Amino acid sequence: MAHRMLGFVHTEKRMPEKRTADDRRRDFDEIYGEFDHAGAQEQANRCSQCGVPFCQVHCPLHNNIPDWLMLTAEGRLEEAYEVSSATNTFPEICGRICPQDRLCEGNCTIEQSRHGTVTIGSIEKYITDTAWEKGWVKPRRPSRELDRSIGIVGGGPAGLAAAEMLRAKGYRVEVYDRYDRIGGLMTYGIPGFKLEKHIVQRRVDQLVEQGVRFHVNADVGGTLPFAELRARHDAVLIATGVYKARDLQAPGSGLDGIVPALDYLTASNRVGLGDVVPEFESGRLNAAGKNVVVIGGGDTAMDCVRTAVRQGAASVKCLYRRNRANMPGSQREVAHAEEEGVEFVWQSAPEAFLGDRAVTAVRAQRIHLGVADATGRQTPQVIDGSRFTIDAELVIKALGFDPEDLPGLFGEPDLKVSRWGTIGIDFRSMMTSLDGVFAAGDIVRGASLVVWAIRDGRDAAERIHAYLTSKAAAEAPAVAAE
Ligand code: FAD
Ligand code: SF4
Ligand code: SF4
């Protein structure tokens, strides 16, 4: 029976049940429950089926949101899953961790008309979690095998999305990752309270079933020369992400107890996965019982403060030089952090770290936001005489990431990079300056989002396929003439 949709006129926006802050603080489980069927149906029915769906325009994957909302409202979940998975390789992951307030939901017409957005992300998650439960999520095995192989450097979302598409077309696909587990930042960066690890692992298992080969502990440019990879495969995709942590130069910044964000989050994720992590055991990367100061205002900083709360920190403060309205992190994540007991110290920047051998306090200064610079952002200016001190036995630096020096690492001086070190590609072919070498994800865009990495990975798969197809066509007459 067709539903009428437009339910927003009589049905309030409702999210799936959110666990209380007290409950959340005790573990690393996700903070939202799941819709029940009636809840998902009712919320999907709020959509007004816009002629120009701005939700879809602002989704990096251009997901066909109105259609899968209508199918959900009509109880046709298997079809909803077919439509949703046609454009998204990992819809249940995006449903969990996309900053929807900045993408699909933030641009939903009924949000703009102040009725409260359609809860697109939660419904996307519900559709795909149900599909997994019912056994509708199947590996896309190729109908024929092609005699060409592709090497993918990096098993994060960009590499995995490309691997899935290329394998489905029949290519032999091998993914090389320097870590001991696949998933990139979805496994070792993003904490379990946003994305539980079994959600990533079941996707990796399914790629194995599909026939993708994974090589873990394969450090390309280190133990495994890049040139060897190029010789082994007909095309190579670089999807290595960005990992060089931005640092902070201030008196005392070399003291013990001042650590980079990704070291801290990786240790926490490893402990959650059952690994023994000596630096966690020794207390270096463990916030338990400590006063913690996190420096930065992005999503990584939000993940650090919320991890510290769960590890049992005595206090957790976030120091950020701009104000709430100008922080790069998602407002939704800030709200979660505040509920969980994090204190935000806005418009403040560290001046020095105090302590003999290990840090005991951060000396900070207040910031005034001055006139806007060329980028349109107000320039932070130190307010004279505004010094103050915060106790801290653990300081976490979450100041963002830059690319590593890939031309140097890979021994490929002809690999062109931008002035920021990201890999330069031809935006039509997605090929780098090296023939047959493509690139996708954060290593091209700079630190970005999982949904953009998926989009890039899918696009790169199409471009690699086009490249190999035209190469085969060009070679064919020569072979015939021999
Ligand atoms: P990555 O996920 O970084 O994967 C790259 C892979 O390449 C890694 O597995 C790495 O080991 C491997 N690799 C690197 N160099 C080599 C080499 N030389 N040889 C072999 N392998 C190599 N995005 C969201 O959308 N929502 C969020 O909530 C969110 N939270 C985040 C939280 C944190 C703490 C961080 C750091 C990022 C977060 N992001 C989030 C961003 C998101 O994780 C990234 O944009 C995305 O993972 C990029 O995908 P990628 O495939 O390009 O790279
Ligand atoms: Fe929204 Fe992300 Fe899903 Fe697109 S992929 S519909 S942006 S949650
Ligand atoms: Fe539905 Fe909102 Fe998308 Fe319009 S913008 S189609 S109301 S989800």
| CATH assignment at residue 27 | 1.10.1060.10
Instruction: Give the pLDDT mean for 307-328.
Output: 94
Assess whether 382 and 284 both reside in one domain.
yes
Confidence (pLDDT) at 380: 86
Q: Which of 105, 118, 122, 124 for mutating ligand 3's site (highest number of atoms within 8 Å of CB)?
A: 118
Q: How many domains does the chain have?
A: 3
Confidence (pLDDT) at 476: 81
Confidence (pLDDT) at 478: 59
The Å distance, Cα 120 to ligand 2 centre, comes to: 7
Task: Indicate whether 285 belongs to any domain.
Answer: yes
> Is the model's pLDDT at 9 over the cut of 90?
no
Residue 330's pLDDT band (boundaries 50, 70, 90)?
Answer: confident
What's the rounded Cα separation, in Å, for the pair 154 and 118? 35
Ligand found nearest the CA of 58: 2
Q: Which of 102, 134, 166 is the last residue of a domain?
A: 134
> Does the beta carbon of 55 lie inside 6 Å of ligand 3?
yes
What contacts 25, CB < 8 A, 6 or more positions away?
309, 310, 340, 341
DSSP label of 377: P
Show the DSSP H helices in 273-330 as ranges: 278-281, 299-310
> Does the beta carbon of 53 lie inside 6 Å of ligand 3?
yes
> Is the model's pLDDT at 481 over the cut of 60?
no
Task: Indicate whether 252 belongs to any domain.
Answer: no
Assess whether 237 and 303 both reside in one domain.
no
Task: Indicate whether 259 belongs to any domain.
Answer: no
Task: Indicate whether 421 belongs to any domain.
Answer: yes
79-110 burial, b at 16+ Cβ within 10 Å, e below that, comes to: bbbebbbebbbbbbbbbbbbbbbebbbbbbbb
Assess whether 108 and 13 both reside in one domain.
yes
- Residue 238, both tokens: 């670089």
Sign of the CA dihedral running 429, 434, 437, 442: negative
Per-residue pLDDT tens digits for 369-392: 888 887 777 888 999 999 999 999
First to last CA, the chain: 63
> Does the beta carbon of 369 lie inside 6 Å of ligand 3?
no
Task: Indicate whether 304 belongs to any domain.
Answer: yes
What's the rounded Cα separation, in Å, for the pair 228 and 220? 9
> Is the model's pLDDT at 141 over the cut of 70?
yes
Assess whether 447 and 407 both reside in one domain.
yes
What's the rounded Cα separation, in Å, for the pair 218 and 168? 24
Distances (CA, A) of 469 to 144, 147, 169, 424: 15, 12, 12, 23
Per-residue pLDDT tens digits for 404-455: 999 999 999 999 999 999 999 999 999 999 999 999 999 999 999 999 999 9
The Å distance, Cα 177 to ligand 1 centre, comes to: 12
What's the rounded Cα separation, in Å, for the pair 199 and 34? 14
What's the rounded Cα separation, in Å, for the pair 471 and 97? 38
Assess whether 324 and 442 both reside in one domain.
no
The Å distance, Cα 34 to ligand 2 centre, comes to: 17
Domain boundaries, position 96: 7-134
> Does the beta carbon of 176 lie inside 6 Å of ligand 1?
yes
Nearest atom within ligand 1 for CA of residue 447: 45
